[in-house]
Structure 1
Amino acid sequence: MKVDILAVGVHPDDVELSCAGTLLHHADLGYTFGILDLTRGELGTRGTPEIRAQEAYAAARKLGAKFRENLGLPDGFISHDENSVRKLITAIRDCRPDIVLANAISDRHPDHGRSARLVADACYYSGLQKIRTNNLQGAAQEPWRPRAVYHYIQDRNHRPDFVVDVTTYYGRKMEAIECYASQFNDQNPGEYAEEPTTPISGKDFMDFLHAKARNLGREAGYDLAEGFRAARYPGVRDLFDLD
């Protein structure tokens, strides 16, 4: 299924936490998007891969994603090997996105930075004709290279290359995040009260997310924003389109 934007996260919930508002905003502009999780998050302290899969699909429905797929790469051991690159190329050629949103270039979780490079490189290799891939039905795929790869800002504070105003969409973003009850303790304290505490499981993490969105929006004059970095700086056709 062709989509305009492919949002890639190494763990289920990366996309919701970091760029869900941007996806909702662009959906309202008429663009389509899909979500690709690279791992099942099986090393996560809380929940199980099965629970996280159910939560991920519920969140995708909340957001209105055209699809959500999981590559099943090993959580914690993401590597830049041929098998992983080819799996990503196949996924990219399947949905032919114009823009890919990927994990932070560097971050607290080691998987984020490794995933960022893996996704960016796969987007490049996906455009090479001599790399042959087949879809799940066995049909040969045509080369496809996205126009741009942008890396969303996650845990660590980085100066963004640009920000997207998500003020109108922040409430719906939070509704998608709330689908991950196993991960965020204050969302469903009764069912998961016995789970271990993690850096993201308490209310203070939600306060941190809101504060980060306020901080990212401040310089652009937005109440709330999501930030992105670009390996290749974007061009501007009209200075008056800039806020």
Structure 2
Amino acid sequence: MTCVPWPGHGAAVRTPCWPGSLTRLPAAICPPTDVTSSRCADRWSRRSTCSTPCRNQAMVDVLVFGPHPDDIEICAGGLVLTLVERGYTVGGVDLTGGESGTRGDAHTRHAEGQRGAELLGLSFRECLGLADGGIRNDEPSRDLVIDVIRRHTPRLVVAPVAIDHHPDHSRSGVLVKEARFLAGCARIGPPGAPHRPGRTLFYPSRELVEPSLIVDISDVFDAKLRAVRAHASQLHAAGSDELPTMIASEGFLTMIEARARHYGAQIGVTHGEPFVVDGPLAVNDPVPAVRDGPQSVFL
């Protein structure tokens, strides 16, 4: 993979990178092999801008969006592992770097995100550099999401459900939903061939939802927890004097398992992940969805 300029623009264009408080940040929107490139690594500074953004061009079957670096693992890690195990290519996109979180810093969270990506088997992980705690469904933000969808041409998009208590999560759901549609409009958004993924799966965080489908993650649940544990700065540490958060509570991993067992029980398996789909699903052959026990029509 290579780092290439934003299509259709010259070096004078100023595009926001990762807003943060550190002097120099890793090039999270580049694949790991490109981080040392002089065109990438030296462009990061305090609330800096990047005149030639580095842009991964890999095409994938599924593109999963998370508001923060740990959300993909926590909310959709089982789905990702299941898809990868079945031979699909999956990419991850963090809308923010999590730089405003109560715990951890931008460097730490970037490293944890890359480790989580490895454990999930993601083909790549990018960060779009939106403001942590300040995600907005505005035109500049939509253009970034439109661009990433057009670059990677996924068949399926996965994003947070738009009814979350965390404003970054709920706004992310609306942002990705609208950008998915607009990415297929040739005269809207940044330069690039139009591409509209078939559907969007929406995942909940803590909210109980009536799922459109539940993915059986029983065989990969332990692997999902290993990926979640990659985000150690966010989790409970005995004797820590850092400010408490829900994720850092001693029982958080137990909560994840309880939730997975709740949804798994609804389809007769030990662990499940719920997803919501807008509108009905088109199925030519319903038999695979019900034969040999509950299965998702997507898998």
Fold-level match, TM-score > 0.5?
A: yes
Q: Tell me the residue number matched to 1:109.
A: 166
Unaligned residue ranges in structure 1 (runs of 5+): 135-140
Percent identity over paired residues = 36
- Cα distance between partner residues in 2 of 1:184 and 1:200: 6
Equivalent residue, structure 2, for 1:89:
146
Question: Does structure 1 residue 118 correspond to structure 2 residue 165?
Answer: no
Task: Work out the CA distance in 2 between the residues paired with 1:233 and 1:109.
Answer: 27
- Which of the numbers 147, 168, 185 marks the counterpart of 1:128? 185
Match of 1:138 in 2: none
> With structure 1 as the length reference, what TM-score do the two structures score?
0.93
Structure 2: 5+ residue runs without aligned partners?
A: 1-57, 295-299
Matched, 1:54 2:108: no
Deviation at 1:132, TM superposition (A): 5.0
Counterpart of 1:64 in structure 2 is 121
Cα deviation digits, residues 39-90 of structure 1 (max 9, x gap): 1112211111221111001110111111100000011111111100101111
SS class of match (1:203): coil
Deviation readout 1:5-60 (Å, 9 max, x if unpaired) = 00100111110001111111111111000000001112211111221111001110
Q: Distance in 1 between matches of 2:286 and 2:115?
A: 40
Q: How does 1:134-173 map to 2 (within 5 A)?
A: 134=191, 141-173=192-224
Letter in 1 for 2:223: R
Q: Give 3-state SS (helix, strand or coil) of 1:46's partner.
A: coil
| RMSD (Å) for aligned C-alpha atoms | 1.2
Q: Within 1, Cα distance between the matches of 2:270 and 2:280?
A: 24
Runs of 4+ in 1 over 4 A off after TM superposition: none
Letter in 2 for 1:235: A
Question: Whole-Å Cα distance in 2 between the matches of residues 173 and 184 of structure 1?
Answer: 15
Q: 2:69 aligns with which of 1, 9, 12?
A: 12
1:206 and 2:268 are equivalent in the alignment:
no
Alpha carbons of structure 1 residues 132 and 9: separation in structure 2 relative to 1, 3 Å? closer
1:223 aligns to 2:270 (yes or no): yes
Q: Which has the higher helix share?
A: 1
In structure 2, the partner of 1:137 is none
| TM-score, normalisation: structure 2 | 0.76
In the alignment, is the contact (CA less than 8 A) between 2:261 and 2:270 conserved in 1?
Answer: yes
Q: Which amino acid aligns with 2:158?
A: L
Q: How far apart are residue 110 of structure 1 and its match?
A: 1.3
C-alpha separation between the residues in 2 aligned to 1:240 and 1:95?
Answer: 31
Which is worse superposed, 207-216 or 232-241? 232-241
Aligned residue pairs, count: 233
2-side partners of 1:59 and 1:5: how far apart?
Answer: 17
CA deviations on 1:127-185 (whole Å, 9 max, x unpaired) are 00112524xxxxxx210000110101211111111000000000110111111010001
Q: Which amino acid in the other structure matches residue 227 of structure 1?
A: P
**Partner AA of 1:213 in structure 2:** A
Match of 1:37 in 2: 94
Partners of 2:262 and 2:160 lie apart in 1 by 19
